[in-house]
Structure 1
Amino acid sequence: MDTLKVANNTARELFLESFLAKAFSEGCPFAVWKKPGQSLVEMIMDRDPKAFTSPEVDLDELPEGFMIHPFLNSEVYEPVYIKASRYERIFLGESSTTDEGDWSSNETILEGSATTVRNKIAALPVGPNGSPSKKADFLATVANAIDHIQSGDFYKVVPARLKKLRLSPEFDLARVFLELCDAYPSAFVNCFFSETSGCWIGASPETLIRTKGDLFYTMALAGTQKAQGDNPLKNAAWTQKEIEEQALVSRYIVNCFKKIRLREYQELGPKTSVAGGLLHLKSEFLVDMKATNFPQLGSVMLGLLHPTSAVCGMPKEKALDFIKAEEGFDRSYFSGFIGPVNLNGETSLFVNLRCAKLENNEALLYAGAGITEDSVPEKEWEETELKCDIIGKFIQTTKSH
């Protein structure tokens, strides 16, 4: 399939709206995304209305498609896979030409596509997500977490909160997606839908794993502060709490390597990274799968890494027990992982962060905060507000709760 080159944002929006409207109207699961640092929007549609689900994930056995994996497998939420029955691409760079024989010449632009999509989202059933988190409850959870850490129960835990916003009558999914692409060029901007998962939109800063050719890649991302000034990277100053929080995530990855006796890897960082108006500390890990004779490393590390200490805590089991006891909602696909699999010789899976679920004229925003013994409850609440705002300010909403 040739890449579609579109001259302006209006034309791109029309094509994307038409694609979304067609998928929704035909009841087809779909995924739309832009990888970090790239200028291509990629789109797939599964002609089978029932995207297939499986409790096991073996990347090497999957056809070309898009993975949607929950935070935890359950009877309600299980991994969903959208097959690439149809695959399209839109070029976001400036161009005045359109390739011969591409989507523009065989796709009918549907009139009223934005309204069709908006109506389909409004009709989506409400999932068992629970009530929005109250500030007092979240502060109490953070204080409780600090007590557990000081008692030696775990080193770190990542409680999350849920925020609900009302979608405006003019909400336009395609426009919001393209605005996110423009605003967050280094994020994995995504939108996907299946009957099982529901409809989500997000701009994740965190790669879980990437495999391309013989190269395996993962990252440790933690620590959060607001980007300040004209040169936020230069102005960044990290506290001991944030440095230690990021170091815990890096050690978690190294421990996963140790479990499979992998000693030959390259570690880069930590360094300050900009993501959606926030700064994080990031370390990157690279492995040559051919040199280490480990061609299945992607699937193996996926099973070991998820859920990472960046979205759960350490030790994992005790942190999970705390999260299950304290959070008053089901995370479903928030802090799970999503992304294209075996497309163009590459698999790129990202942690589903900075995201919102769209249903029944509402946006359900999710955000978590990494708690260590040096955490301050009020500051952790403020951090979750900043994270919710990354998507919230783009989805044209007014507060309903």
Structure 2
Amino acid sequence: MNYTEASTPTSQSEFLDLLFLKGLESGSSFAIWRKPKSQKLEFLLDDSETPERVSLNFENLPSGFIVHPFADQEDKKAFFIKSSYYFSLQLDQEFDAEDSPQWIKSQAGETEKSAKSRIAQLIRLQSESKNASEIESQSKEHFIRLVQDGIAAIEAGTLEKVVPARTKRISVSEDFDLAKAFLKMLEAYPNSFVNFFHIPHGGTWIGASPEVLIETKGDHFYTMALAGTQPASGENPLKSAAWTQKEIEEQALVCRYIVDCFKKIRLREYEEHGPKTVMAGNLLHLRSDFKVDMKATGFPQLGSVMLDLLHPTSAVCGMPRKEAHEFLQANEDFDRSFFAGFIGPVNIQEETSIYVNLRTASLNGDFATLYAGAGVTEDSDPEKEWEETELKCQIIGKFIQKPSA
């Protein structure tokens, strides 16, 4: 069919093509996402040439989408994609393109096939982010050695836990259909924050994160401790999961880290639920949930205070945080960029939902770089930690990977 103002797209896939095309052709920053257990797809575009850099006091920000790298910047500021244009649609309801705003309808003007071709071309033209040209940490030997060094540091008493990461570079399929891949991810990962964001000269990323860093809704604050990983298997993997002492202790360390942050700000009134087994894609994790009534505790800015205290969490860095971060900076040999940083919508319809940027990939021309880490304790098996990162890379990689001949 033709995309014309008189004949607007009639399917979610066609409409998603227009959103991606609108964002990529604008030359500006934009984001598309769906929250866990939600049926609402959201799109946000910043019409300025470069995104604003903001402090983490998000309560005072307008509506937008925040993006922060793993490593703190000198000024501790994040990228902020402000909401110049915003649109949402319900994925579980009958789609009516006539309800879309005029700025989306005006984007229409070419065939579905040419729109997809143009999106693929724009994706291939994306230059690598500023740190992606560094040597990528891909080899199994390098990662195994990194895990062994981490275990040695733990045995020496320097660290309690460390979370080394690696990259995996894959070819992007020549017929890669971004809208189709995104819709498949929405279907495959209902319990994850499925997202795509683009920042000029900063990167083009796609992912499905299972981990909330902080969330505020009305008077309530939420966070979670997510750690421990095993493949989901069997007819009922949630009931048949058996956790080792290593995995239980790894998750307990993350819980203690959150509680220690509460203690730092003398917050004693909070709810803790868990740990329980949860599924994210083809993996199982242990999760505990924390909830605070900000009004009852007289702490209206708890969200931004905890955001500053929690990042980077022990689940993506290690403990003690300072020593673990220094170990990673000295030994990983690549820049994580936005991997294990945080992303998410801010002050949209009186809610802020910020997630750890996990299960993610950066799109760099004809290639994509996948990122994955593994929690290392004194009981870790380096070979099993490598296998864990391979499973994590598959979560996004299988939607991008060029099929082998």
TM-score (norm 1): 0.94
**What is the match of residue 71 of structure 2?**
72
SS of aligned partner of 2:353 = strand
Equivalences for 1:1-400 in 2 at 5 Å?
Answer: 11-54=11-54, 56-74=55-73, 79-95=78-94, 97=96, 100=99, 102=101, 106-111=105-110, 112-127=114-129, 128-129=131-132, 130-398=135-403
Q: Distance in 2 between matches of 1:240 and 1:388?
A: 25
SS of aligned partner of 2:89 = strand
C-alpha contact (below 8 Å) 2:204/2:364 kept by paired residues:
yes
Q: Which one is further off, 290-299 or 194-203?
A: 194-203
Q: Distance in 2 between matches of 1:222 and 1:274?
A: 12
CA positional deviation for 1:176: 1.0
SS of aligned partner of 2:238 = helix
Structure 1 pair 121–98 and aligned structure 2 pair: CA distance change class (3 A): closer
CA positional deviation for 1:90: 2.2
Deviations 1:148-185 (A, max 9, x none): 10110010000000100010110111111111000000
Q: Distance in 2 between matches of 1:388 and 1:101?
A: 35
Amino acid at match of 2:18: S
Q: Distance in 2 between matches of 1:293 and 1:223?
A: 34
Q: Distance in 2 between matches of 1:301 and 1:261?
A: 12
C-alpha contact (below 8 Å) 1:77/1:197 kept by paired residues:
no
**What is the match of residue 6 of structure 2?**
none
Q: Distance in 2 between matches of 1:204 and 1:13?
A: 22
Amino acid at match of 1:15: F
Q: Which one is further off, 324-333 or 87-96?
A: 87-96
Amino acid at match of 2:36: P
CA positional deviation for 1:397: 2.5
Q: Distance in 2 between matches of 1:140 and 1:320?
A: 17
Q: Distance in 2 between matches of 1:297 and 1:101?
A: 36
SS of aligned partner of 2:254 = helix
C-alpha contact (below 8 Å) 1:36/1:188 kept by paired residues:
yes
CA positional deviation for 1:136: 0.6
Amino acid at match of 2:127: P
Q: Which one is further off, 243-252 or 191-200?
A: 191-200
Q: Distance in 2 between matches of 1:77 and 1:296?
A: 18
Q: Distance in 2 between matches of 1:10 and 1:314?
A: 51
Deviations 1:354-397 (A, max 9, x none): 00000111110000000000000000000000000000011142
TM-score (norm 2): 0.93
Q: Distance in 2 between matches of 1:76 and 1:159?
A: 25
Q: Which one is further off, 90-99 or 133-142?
A: 90-99
CA positional deviation for 1:28: 1.8
Q: Distance in 2 between matches of 1:361 and 1:76?
A: 33
Aligned residues: 391
C-alpha contact (below 8 Å) 2:246/2:377 kept by paired residues:
yes
Q: Distance in 2 between matches of 1:238 and 1:249?
A: 16
**What is the match of residue 5 of structure 1?**
none
**What is the match of residue 3 of structure 1?**
none
Q: Distance in 1 between matches of 2:27 and 2:355?
A: 25
SS of aligned partner of 1:21 = helix
Q: Which one is further off, 235-244 or 387-396?
A: 387-396
CA RMSD of aligned residues (A): 2.0
SS of aligned partner of 1:356 = strand
Q: Distance in 2 between matches of 1:105 and 1:45?
A: 11
C-alpha contact (below 8 Å) 1:197/1:333 kept by paired residues:
no
Q: Distance in 2 between matches of 1:353 and 1:91?
A: 25
CA positional deviation for 1:74: 3.8
CA positional deviation for 1:75: 7.3
C-alpha contact (below 8 Å) 1:209/1:349 kept by paired residues:
yes
Deviations 1:223-255 (A, max 9, x none): 000001110011100000000000000000000
Q: Structure 1 unaligned runs (5+)?
A: 1-8
Q: Distance in 2 between matches of 1:177 and 1:96?
A: 17
SS of aligned partner of 2:11 = helix
Structure 1 pair 301–75 and aligned structure 2 pair: CA distance change class (3 A): closer
Deviations 1:2-35 (A, max 9, x none): xxxxxxx981111111111122112121000000
Post-superposition, which runs of at least 4 consecutive aligned residues in structure 1 deviate over 4 A?
75-78, 96-105
C-alpha contact (below 8 Å) 1:77/1:332 kept by paired residues:
no
SS of aligned partner of 2:170 = strand
Percent identity, please: 53
Deviations 1:324-362 (A, max 9, x none): 111111000000000000000000000000000001111
Amino acid at match of 1:165: I
Q: Distance in 2 between matches of 1:371 and 1:77?
A: 27
